[in-house]
Amino acid sequence: MSYEEFYRRSIEQPEAFWAEQARAIHWHKPPERILDYDRPPFRRWFVGGETNLCYNSLDRHLEARGDQLALVAISSETGQTRELSYRELHREVNAFAAVLKSLDVVRGDRVVIYMPNMAEAVFAMLACARIGAVHSVVFGGFAAHNLALRIDDARPKLLICADAGMRGGKVIPYKPLVDAACAEAASPPPRVLVVNRGLDPALRLIAGRDLDYAGLRAQHAEATVEVEWLESNEPSYLLYTSGTTGKPKGVQRDVGGYAVALALSMWSIYDVRAGQVMFSTSDVGWAVGHSYNVYGPLIAGATSVLYEGLPTHPDPGIWWRICEQYGVRTMFSSPTGIRVLKKQDAAWLKAHDLSRLQWLFLAGEPLDEPTAHWITDGIDKPIIDNYWQTETGWPVLALMPGLDMRPIKFGSPGLPTPGYRLRVIDEATGRDVGANEKGVLVIVPPLPPGCMSTVWNDDARFLSSYFGHFKELLYSSLDWAIRDDDGYTFILGRTDDVINVAGHRLGTREIEESVASHPAVAEAAVIGVHDELKGQVPVVFATLKQAGDQDAARVAAGMRQCVVDQLGAVARPARVYVVAALPKTRSGKLLRRSIQALAESRDPGDLSTLDDPAALDEVQRALARGADA
Ligand code: ATP
Ligand code: MG
């Protein structure tokens, strides 16, 4: 079927379309009503249907593919690889679920999971899903304060953590962070379950609260735990957004709609079917990790590759070696990850046999054209940009090679995926803008299956954060976009990343793209800095592909010229700073608001999602030293 026909049907006959897609998963009890939209913008998909994410991920595949690999968990940090067949993964998840039950975790209870990309993190998630507990995975790199905030929002009955994670060969103890978070939290979990990999010799369990997983697992190793059948709209998990723009929101996901959306996306977008292999480099703590390291590939009966470690450790060929070794068909990563590799020798991209790799999908932030070209040339595979949000749980914009591949346009994540009625509208008037004109990207509700149901415990925040921006009831993505004559959408950055230069509104994103087109530049952040005369002026912070051996002043002047040539004198950067690193969130997104604060001699604000404090110091030093151009 053509993409147009498929997409049109999803929009014109949503109930018929989704009823059909729902057949891809197992229902213990079929839905009574496909869509309930009686209380806009809240909507419920597959009402009355009963299903379970764990059953669809594991039990359903045992007969046909029990001995096929379900999960490969590779750690370049510990040097260990674990390969689990569907049967073995089913056994581990049952044991884990039995342990949870023995700790009185029941349907509806929240369980916070604070672990790195290790197999037990997947067991824990699936075990929660099996018994109807609501997991909330918190990215293992977050500090104690972030964890405490999420604990107080989710109020878990149990917290599951690892003794430690590792990064670049260095052990990072997790348990002391958990202890500190529990001390800070107003409602700490009564119990903490520790999966000990023996990485932290100083690990200390607190009597009466902390439990060692290995001991409990031994008691339940052969257990089978019955699946808890959940109504399609019960919560399956909570996941907090990255916090790029402020206080993270607790995205609440349902069960049935999510499973159906993932099933559809696996074959049609990611082109992965039962028996094939998908490798996502995401962390289980992010939305991509939930959807395409855990539930998506397993619901599809595929093999999921999970990777703990840096893209450059033990060497910059590690990802491609994994692709070769496991015959990965589809790989999923982020522009940040590729930019890390871009600083390395491009020869690493050619060092392995990638004949079975079909597609590299990238998501999470704008994919600038130079990076897209660099990786396309390097591995000689189609690179598919796809755009989504933690809130949506699966792509909003993508190309769909599993259904009907359309031409790639560099710089665009492509076309709307099924069920997403998108508009690009004028920020002030709320009217649709014309082709090739810039506006805010909005989704016309009801949101399709897979998208968030609400903000956990806070319907009011759901309404005000997403639906309160226009007169009409529309979900605002809070991202700028333009749609070209062929219907391809380009994302131009976040609506709060706009600067006003002498009355001209400029997207920092467009200026960044232009700076990054300079051949020496690895990555750029552009911010608006207060200026007496013009209101705001663009200021550039950039890292170079080859640090050190370049004349910073010359390269900086070159960047400025790129902007003037491509966007005009109005966008001319007032100052250009060459830095060794840029401050990012733990999910790899530029923290422009903090850079801007420093550049305006203000307090950098909430730094709880900052990845590397040294990068902020680096910006501070550059400011003190003075601009390079
Ligand atoms: P918060 O909402 O807490 O501020 P966040 O928006 O960074 O954090 P995520 O849900 O992880 O949290 O990120 C979604 C955002 O990432 C999108 O709204 C968009 O700005 C950006 N994004 C994701 N994919 C793409 C893409 N392919 N192209 C451009 N931007 C993208
Ligand atoms: Mg967001």
User: Which segment of 173-187, 388-402, 502-516, 529-543 scores lowest on mean pLDDT?
Assistant: 502-516
- Which of 127, 129, 125, 126 lies closest to 138 in space, CA to CA? 125
Is residue 288 within 8 A of residue 317, CB to CB? The reply is no
pTM of the model: 0.90
Is residue 236 within 8 A of residue 53, CB to CB? The reply is yes
CA distances from 19 to 70, 445, 610 (A): 28, 18, 43
Give the confidence band of 20 by pLDDT, cuts at 50, 70, 90: very high
Distance of CA 44 to the CA centre of its chain: 24
With 90 as the cut, is the pLDDT of residue 67 above it?
yes
Q: What span, in angstroms and rounded, lies between the C-alpha atoms of 87 and 66? A: 5
Q: What percent of the chain has pLDDT over 70?
A: 99
71-105 tens-digit pLDDT: 999 999 999 999 999 999 999 999 999 999 999 99
CA of 209 to the centre of ligand 1 (A): 37
Q: What span, in angstroms and rounded, lies between the C-alpha atoms of 253 and 257? A: 9
Among 142, 387, 496, the mutation site with the greatest number of ligand 1 atoms within 8 A of its Cβ is 387
With 70 as the cut, is the pLDDT of residue 610 above it?
yes
User: Measuring from each residue's beta carbon to the nearest atom of ligand 1, which residues come in under 6 Å?
Assistant: 241-245, 248, 363-367, 385-390, 413, 477, 479, 491, 494, 587, 589
Partners of 575 in beta bridges: 539
With 70 as the cut, is the pLDDT of residue 204 above it?
yes
Ligand sitting nearest the alpha carbon of 391: 1
Give the confidence band of 611 by pLDDT, cuts at 50, 70, 90: confident
The predicted structure's pLDDT at residue 364: 92
Catalogue all structural domains in the chain, each as residue range(s) with its CATH number.
Answer: 3-309+386-444 (3.40.50.12780), 501-625 (3.30.300.30)
User: Which segment of 1-5, 33-37, 294-298, 584-588 scores lowest on mean pLDDT?
Assistant: 584-588
Query: Closest ligand 1 atom to the C-alpha of 491?
Result: 29
The predicted structure's pLDDT at residue 499: 85
In sequence order, which ranges of 236-332 are alpha helices (DSSP H)? 256-268, 287-289, 296-299, 318-326
Q: What span, in angstroms and rounded, lies between the C-alpha atoms of 269 and 262? A: 10
Ligand sitting nearest the alpha carbon of 367: 1
The predicted structure's pLDDT at residue 175: 97
Give the confidence band of 549 by pLDDT, cuts at 50, 70, 90: low
Which element (helix H / strand E) includes 231?
Answer: strand 230-231
The predicted structure's pLDDT at residue 305: 98
Query: Closest ligand 1 atom to the C-alpha of 362?
Result: 27
Q: Copy the structure tokens of residue 467.
A: 């639906």
Is residue 120 within 8 A of residue 162, CB to CB? The reply is yes
42-56 tens-digit pLDDT: 999 999 999 999 999
Whose C-alpha lies nearest to ligand 1, atom 22?
A: 365
Q: Strand 164-167 to strand 170-173: parallel, antiparallel, or no bridges (unpaired)?
A: antiparallel
What is the chain's length? Answer: 629
First and final CA of the chain: distance in angstroms?
54
Q: What span, in angstroms and rounded, lies between the C-alpha atoms of 128 and 330? A: 27
466-509 tens-digit pLDDT: 999 999 999 999 999 999 999 999 998 888 788 888 778 787 88
The predicted structure's pLDDT at residue 84: 98
Among 282, 292, 336, 390, the mutation site with the greatest number of ligand 1 atoms within 8 A of its Cβ is 390
On the question of a cis peptide bond just before residue 314, with omega within 30 degrees of 0, the verdict is: yes
Cα-only R_g, the chain: 24
Q: What span, in angstroms and rounded, lies between the C-alpha atoms of 515 and 480? A: 19
- Tally the C-alpha atoms within 13 A of residue 491's C-alpha that lie toward its C-beta: 27
Query: Closest ligand 1 atom to the C-alpha of 493?
Result: 20
Residue with tokens 């190793």: 221
136-169 tens-digit pLDDT: 999 987 888 889 999 999 999 999 999 999 999 9
Ligand sitting nearest the alpha carbon of 283: 1
CA of 162 to the centre of ligand 1 (A): 28
Distance of CA 565 to the CA centre of its chain: 34
Task: Calculate mean pLDDT across residues 608-629.
Answer: 91
Give the confidence band of 246 by pLDDT, cuts at 50, 70, 90: low
Identify the DSSP state of 392. T
Average pLDDT, the chain: 95
The predicted structure's pLDDT at residue 103: 98
CA of 364 to the centre of ligand 1 (A): 5
CA distances from 554 to 250, 311, 518 (A): 46, 31, 12
CA of 108 to the centre of ligand 2 (A): 26
The predicted structure's pLDDT at residue 245: 67
Task: Calculate mean pLDDT across residues 30-35.
Answer: 98
The predicted structure's pLDDT at residue 111: 98
Phi, psi for 266 (deg, rounded to 5): -60, -50
369-389 tens-digit pLDDT: 899 999 999 999 999 999 999
Task: Calculate mean pLDDT across residues 384-405.
Answer: 98
Q: What span, in angstroms and rounded, lies between the C-alpha atoms of 444 and 531? A: 38
What 3-state class would DSSP assign to 337? helix
Task: Calculate mean pLDDT across residues 416-437.
Answer: 96
Phi, psi for 603 (deg, rounded to 5): -65, 135
Helix 613-625 × helix 592-599 angle, to 10°: 30
Task: Calculate mean pLDDT across residues 561-582.
Answer: 92
